[in-house]
Structure 1
Amino acid sequence: MSDLPVLIVLPGMDATGTLHDGFIDAMAARGMATSVIAYPHDRPLDYRQLLPFVQAALPRDVPFVLLGESFSGPLALAMAARAPGGLQGLILTTTFARAHWPVGRALRPLLRWLPMRGMPSPALSWWLLGRWATPAMRDALQKALAQVDVTVLRARLRAVLEVDMRASAPDVAVPVLCLHASDDRLLPARAQREWSALLPRAQQHTVAGPHLLLQANPQAAADLVRRFAGGLG
């Protein structure tokens, strides 16, 4: 197909691997093969437990670029710091290295009672998709979340509220691309600014779109990923 590395996507909170068809097609049109690593939907795993799961799923005989989306950003950062064989670059999209939500400390004791499927579809759509929402995208998001056990969603939310992977940043030796969404209603601006401090040599780009950037604006994201991948090697 091409001499480009394979793109390996570590997905967002649902981690089903079902929300990236448009982005995968956009990358294929640019000559880059893409694979999404889905996480177990019935086993609560935190970041520490997910690391060996992801490492075992990485390619062993081809060069690749690792992309960490939203929930998986801290995981991708920690994995890149381990320098797995074949890794040529790291992409971080609409994500964070540590928890940036002070209210999260108060929520942690309440997580066991939090109704993880209780948020109405319009509210979830406003938060994650904003004005880019379509009926098809709303439906796909709801179906993806419905595939994951409530205990797993709670465990992932707890992991997000407790994570701090900043210490991994100095050990990342490969080139890095950070993609930020212009209308991200989930991440505070300080989360975006922190990447510049943690990874001062990283390329930083803001793309028109909501928190679910790869789903809402796959063409623009694919252009930047292709350009970044083409400069590696």
Structure 2
Amino acid sequence: MRPTLVLLPGMDGTGELFEPLLQALPATQPVLVLRYPLDGPQHPAALANWVGPQLPADRPFVLLGESFSGPVAILLAAAAPPGLQGLVLCASFARKPSRLPAALAPLAKVLAQLPRPTWAVSAALLGPHATPALRERLTGALAQLPPAVLAARLQAVLHGDVRAALRQTRLPLLLLEAQHDRLVPARCQRELLALRPDAERVAFAAPHLLLQCAPQAAAQALLAFVDRLVSPCAAAQSAAR
């Protein structure tokens, strides 16, 4: 049996934006999409505690953290839950991607209350890859996000730093990098590689939402990663750890 691919969503927290990737994955690849709660703390440690009990307990799995969820996935991987065989970070980071000081985090509450122009959000997340269908899916997902929750997640990004946890991880790591990312700069990918020089990196000519804009290529990279994890060679290496 192939390991289940557990998908942790980006800032929207709905998991609905994974649909293009789900359509690109074969039926033989088990997938579990998680959705974040709209109440309670929204920082990575709290969300990791919320996700933990929902992880597969009776079968192996691979954890993917998209963007905002990268730190959540890192904290979970550092805790080494039974069955976890690999970690994937997609267009993500180990600490705040913005150069803005954390002292400006209170402004997140103000920004979250402002109207969200569709064109600006689309340009930032989808770039020239935007299609009517993708824009509609993105708008629908973000519309479900209350301003208070958005503000809490923005603050979590500005304050977060899970570099120490990433150093503790020993599982195979795959980095999916969006080369045309307007939100997460390339230095974040360099930092991830500096913390885990053994990580595998696959770059895509895509914007921040690379799983949505390049689903076929992303699916191929994920399947290849999972295949290597279940190969006899990978199993031997895992047993030797």
Given the alignment of the two structures, is residue 120 of structure 1 paired with residue 117 of structure 2, yes or no? yes
Correspondence for 2:233: none
State the match for 2:16 in structure 1. Answer: 18
- 1:41–1:147 CA contact under 8 A, matched in 2: no
Matches within 5 A, 1:85-100: 85-100=82-97
Counterpart of 1:212 in structure 2 is 209
Which residues of structure 2 form unaligned runs of 5+?
231-241
Aligned partners of 1:179 and 1:207 also within 8 Å: yes
What one-letter code is carried by the residue in structure 2 that aligns with 1:138?
R
Distance 1:126 1:160 in 2: 21
Letter in 2 for 1:158: Q
Most deviating of 174-183 and 110-119? 110-119
- What CA distance in whole angstroms lies between the structure 2 residues aligned with 1:158 and 1:18? 23
Contact 1:60-1:86 within 8 A present in 2 as well:
yes
Matched, 1:189 2:186: yes
Give the letter for the 2:209 counterpart: L
Letter in 1 for 2:5: L
Q: What residue in structure 2 maps to residue 58 of structure 1?
A: 55
What is the percentage of aligned positions where both structures have the same residue?
Answer: 48
Give the match's secondary structure for 2:17. Answer: coil
Residue identity matched to 2:179: S
Distance in 1 (alpha carbons) for counterparts of 2:165 and 2:103: 26
Matching residue's letter, 1:47: P
Match of 1:201 in 2: 198
Match of 1:48 in 2: 45
Amino acid at match of 2:75: A
Q: Which runs of 5+ in 1 are unaligned?
A: none
Q: 2:166 aligns with which of 150, 163, 169?
A: 169
Task: Label 1:122 to 1:63 Cα distance change in 2 as closer, same or farther (>3 A).
Answer: same
Q: Report the TM-score when normalising by structure 1.
A: 0.94
Number of residue equivalences: 230
1:108 to 88, 105, 108: 105
Considering only aligned residues, what root-mean-square deviation do their CA atoms show, in Å?
1.3
Is 1:134 the counterpart of 2:168? The answer is no
Runs of 4+ in 1 over 6 A off after TM superposition: none
SS at 1:48 equivalent: helix
CA distance in 2, matches of 1:34, 1:22: 13
Corresponding residue of 2:226: 229
User: 1:141-164: CA deviations, max 9, x gaps?
Assistant: 111111121111110000001100
Instruction: Give 2:149's aligned residue.
Output: 152
CA distance in 2, matches of 1:114, 1:21: 28
- Displacement of 1:115: 3.8
Provide, for residues 127-175 of structure 1, a one-character-per-residue CA deviation record: whole Å limited to 9, x for no partner. 0000110111111111111112111111000000110000012221111
Letter matched to residue 20 of structure 1: F
Matched letter for residue 204 of structure 1: R
Amino acid corresponding to residue 208 of structure 1 in structure 2: A
Contact kept in structure 2, 1:178 and 1:202, CA below 8 Å: yes
More divergent stretch after superposition (173-182 vs 102-111): 102-111
Deviation at residue 106 of structure 1 after TM alignment: 5.0
Cα distance in 1, alignment partners of residues 36 and 23 from structure 2: 21
